[in-house]
Structure 1
Amino acid sequence: MTQEQFSKYSFLLDRTARKVKQYAQQKFNLGDFDITVDQWLVLKNLSENELLSQTELAQLVFKDHPTLTRIIDILCKKGYVERVPHPQDRRSFQLHLTTIGVSKVKELKPQIAQIREKAWENLNEQDFEEFKRILNTIYTNLEE
């Protein structure tokens, strides 16, 4: 692959990722979800895991610590997330959803699934499999 082809494909990948996030955030705003796409990623990952440290959560949502701290602070103020002292490390906390947070995730899951389905319209099963294979290859190429 030439450098020019690589640049074009990288641009397409980046442009598409930004468009997906922009579209989702627009729908979140119109749906009055009371959260952002990034906040949803945190809530969703906390709903799928019992207790997570901030470091573990940062790895799951691909956010740096300062950005994730801001997101968590907002979600705590909204009553969706709670910090609890880590049982083995007094200097750190574990994160979990509050009862209100669990309800919020249950409420939004079907609506967010519909938003995601829009991006996948007009693609068949073979398209999905090839797309998954390509993305996994790119990801693996960049792992250290």
Structure 2
Amino acid sequence: MTDVSDLNAHTGYLLRMVSNAVSQEFARGVAGEGVTVAEWVMLRALYGQEAVAPTLLARMMGMTKGAISKLSDRLQDKGLIERSGNPTDNRGHRLSLSDAGARKVPILAQLADQNDAAFFAVLSGKEQEQLRALLHTLIDLHGLSAAPVD
């Protein structure tokens, strides 16, 4: 039998285990507010922005225009975003938060903060900073930009 490394020897496996635990708990929290994690990511991307063309939003979030279109349809149906005409392109439109969406983002951000605090409280403040710094290093060195919405 060929010698095969143990799953726990794979950093990617360990990261996925942690990510799944953190993400699943957060998904339950935002579901209580009537949104998905992907919808939260889009709402947060729009927060504090002027109206944005879907193409630009797709680029900002590292998603396809199709994915942005599906998310924006769902969020518009929920009354959390609005579509407006694009003054520079009569065929296009722009997306922005509705008043309800702008009120929802701080609530969801607080859930994200609470989720992180609860999960990562077992690490010291310095360890949490080190973990974030290492993750940012990996993100930067590998040129990662897609929003993690799955």
- More divergent stretch after superposition (117-126 vs 55-64): 55-64
SS at match of 2:84: strand
Unpaired stretches in structure 1, ≥5 consecutive residues: none
Aligned-partner residue type, residue 92 of structure 1: G
**Larger helix percent:** 1
- What TM-score do you get using the length of structure 2 for normalisation? 0.77
Distance 1:16 1:60, change over 3 A: farther
Unpaired stretches in structure 2, ≥5 consecutive residues: 145-150
Number of corresponding residues: 139
Query: Is 1:99 paired with 2:99?
Result: yes
Query: Is 1:80 paired with 2:80?
Result: yes
1:135 equivalent in structure 2: 135
1:143 deviates by 1.8
Contact 2:81 2:97 in 1 (8 A): yes
1:43 equivalent in structure 2: 43
SS at match of 1:52: coil
1:119-130 equivalence runs, <5 A: 119-130=119-130
CA distance in 1, matches of 2:63, 2:33: 21
RMSD: 2.5
Q: Which has the higher contact order (CA 8 A, sep 6+)?
A: 2
1:16 deviates by 2.2
The percentage of aligned residue pairs carrying the same residue is 24
